[in-house]
Structure 1
Amino acid sequence: MLLVSEPEILSEEFGEAKKWWEQSGSFFIEYYLHFSQEMAIFLDPSERQQLAQNYDTNEEFMEQKGLNNLKEELENLMQAIDDAYSVNYWAGVYNLTINLASFFSIGSYWKEWHQRHELALEAAYKAGDKLAEAWICNNLGAVYRLFGRRDKAIEMCGRSQYLFQELGQQGRKGEATALNTLGNVYRAKGWWTEAIKAFEKSISIFRELQDPFGEAKALDGLGHAYALQNSLELAEEILKESLRIKQEVGASLFEVSKTYNNLGKVYAKLLRLSEAEELFRKSLSIKREIGDRQGEGVSLHELGEIYRLQSCWEQAQKMYANSIEVKEQIADYNGQGLTLIAISNLHLNRDDQEEAIEARKQALATLHRDSPSYKQVAEWLQSIS
């Protein structure tokens, strides 16, 4: 569908043409509002499941179809949000944006995610829609974490949680979601105790609501947090439970691939390398299928780690290089830093300290300053100077 563009008109025809243009503009916004609502169902496993049964079709096909349709119409969807904002159609702005949140996340459209959610936050506030404002704050918390603005992410998550709590039972699911998002931010800052508490509260609410999709997501976060603390047996148990739930209820490919990756990291730490490699390859295949660029970069990095642990230096270097290439394309600076640390470790394994130092210096320039990895790299460089 082409964007509607205002035609050149004669002055005497202006009144009639203006009316036509306003009607066309309204249709354009409403068309993409309806389109985004429909595609949001395709990406939401809790809603997609019933729709797939009604139409006797495959859920994975529906998920892929939704992602492809949204990608094809991305320019028009962004234009529809901007047009709605320009005419003060606040509900159009925030509903369109909320409908696209999962797509922004899966496709690593961080810039669009951030810019349109800022507009949507203003729109929800002006419209007095507390529920929409709460969801938008939660989504902004997630994208600020990815940008490395973790204090701002905590602020947004706190605001989201407060708004959801004010809404009572209506905001209960949102409160659990905000706690999960907050747990991910705490984990990124290395605040393990706070992260675990947030994930456990989130899991408790999702179980109370009998929401297995939300529960599995929060279990993922909890398992990852324990893995980072090297509580590996507990992490494995939690992540297996997450994977079991996701497979049982038909979670999205995106969500299943995340658990594959997190569980693979646990197996890698336990030196169960063949099991880890199998999960990373499964994850990578899904990431590429659905266009999850950030996830693709992570899976390539983890495969590089497997090769490094097996002393397969050339294969490891190739995987790391591919990972950095993907991360550069989506401006995942912190992710680049983590892979540069891995490259530094590879050089150390090969007794090349000079190259190892250079790689860690490059990592320090890209890592988020409030991340645990930044502090570790800075201390390591200082210790050898």
Structure 2
Amino acid sequence: MADAQTTLARYYDKRGDYGKALAYLEKSLAIRREIGDRAGEGTTLNNLATTAYAGGDYGKALAYLEKSLAIQREIGDRAGEGTTLNNLATTAYAGGDYGKALEYLEKSLAIQREIGDRAGMIPTLHNMAHIYLQNQQLQASLQAFGEALQLCHETNNAEGFFNVSLNLGNLLCQLDQKEQGLPLLEQALAVGQQLGHPQTSQVEALLRQFQ
């Protein structure tokens, strides 16, 4: 029954009817609580948060995520805890609370290091780098970008490599460190063309600008 409610919620979510999607997810949540499915409850709360976020209700999304986080800590789901912390960071960032977003990301990164989730560390470090840059913490930003780039190489993550090399290459060129930045942009272009990435044209524009 809970899965059926979730399926209906996805249907309405895709149609942009977030109110109905939330209603079906709330029914799914009630069923999972009734049968004592704590893991499913945590997942459903994350789904509720995603739908609330899509509807622009960041406060409600944060409330759902905090409840999900409490359950994941209770049942010892470290990977799920890391994911929820990332979702909390995204929601806090969207609401303009960059300090809180960074705090969530730092906690998520600590868990990812602990459990060896190198793939998960890439977007976490990438997002941290952007917030550091907004906070004028240039060295911290460069360090986070650099570690993310290294992890992309180690895990053969082409999508991650494209995103990180694009942003780091652009930053280095803006800092007049073109000898380091341009090769990254050229590598991003090559990978972007292989992937058919929609942002490849952005890399081409940056190369024309800085060369």
> Taking structure 1 as the reference length, what is the TM-score of the superposition?
0.42
Q: 1:310 to 1:174 in 2, by over 3 A?
A: farther
Distance 1:260 1:275 in 2: 10
**What letter matches 2:102 in structure 1?**
E
Identity %: 22
Q: Alpha carbons of 1:239 and 1:307: their partners in 2 closer, same or farther (altered >3 Å)? A: same
8 A Cα contact 1:305 1:342, kept in partner: no
Q: 1:260 to 1:207 in 2, by over 3 A?
A: same
1:177 aligns with 2:39: no
CA contact (8 A) 2:165 2:185 kept: yes
| Aligned partner letter, 2:140 | E
- 2:142 aligns with 277
Give ranges in structure 1 of 5+ residues lacking alignment.
1-129, 351-385
Q: For residue 270 of structure 1, report the CA deviation from its aligned partner.
A: 1.4
Please tell me whether Structure 1 or Structure 2 has the larger radius of gyration of its CA atoms: 1
Q: 1:101-112 maps to which residues of 2 (within 5 A)?
A: none
Partner of 1:205: 71
SS of 1:151's equivalent in the other structure is coil
Give the counterpart of 1:340 among 188, 202, 210: 202
- Rate the CA distance shift 1:300–1:244 in 2: closer, same or farther, 3 A: same
Partner AA of 1:203 in structure 2? L
**Contact in 2 for aligned 1:317/1:343 (Cα 8 Å):** no
1:238 has 2:100 as partner: no
**Counterparts in 2 of 1:221-260, with a 5 A limit?**
221-248=87-114, 250-260=115-125
8 Å CA contact 1:180, 1:198 repeated in 2: yes
Asked whether the equivalents of residues 112 and 121 of structure 2 are also in contact (C-alpha less than 8 Å), the reply is yes
Report the number of matched residues.
Answer: 204
1:296 matched to 2:161: yes
Change (3 A) 1:293 1:318: same
CA contact (8 A) 1:150 1:185 kept: no
Asked if 2 retains the 8 angstrom alpha-carbon contact of 1:280 and 1:299, the reply is yes
What's the CA shift for 1:307? 1.7
In 2, distance between residues paired with 1:157 and 1:290? Answer: 36
CA distance in 1: counterparts of 2:163 and 2:31, whole angstroms = 37
Q: CA deviation at 1:255?
A: 1.9
**Structure 1 residue 313 displacement after superposition:** 5.5
Structure 2: gaps of 5 or more residues:
none
Question: Do the aligned partners of residues 297 and 190 (structure 1) sit closer, same or farther apart at CA in structure 2, a change above 3 Å counting?
Answer: farther
- Structure 1 CA distance, aligned partners of 2:167 and 2:181? 9
Taking a change above 3 Å as real, the CA distance of residues 210 and 340 of structure 1, as seen in their structure-2 partners, is same
Secondary structure of the residue aligned to 1:219 is helix
**Cα deviation, residue 241, structure 1:** 1.8
Q: Distance in 2 between matches of 1:331 and 1:160?
A: 35
Taking structure 2 as the reference length, what is the TM-score of the superposition? 0.69
Q: CA RMSD in A?
A: 4.2
Whether the 8 Å CA contact 1:207–1:215 is kept in 2: the answer is: yes
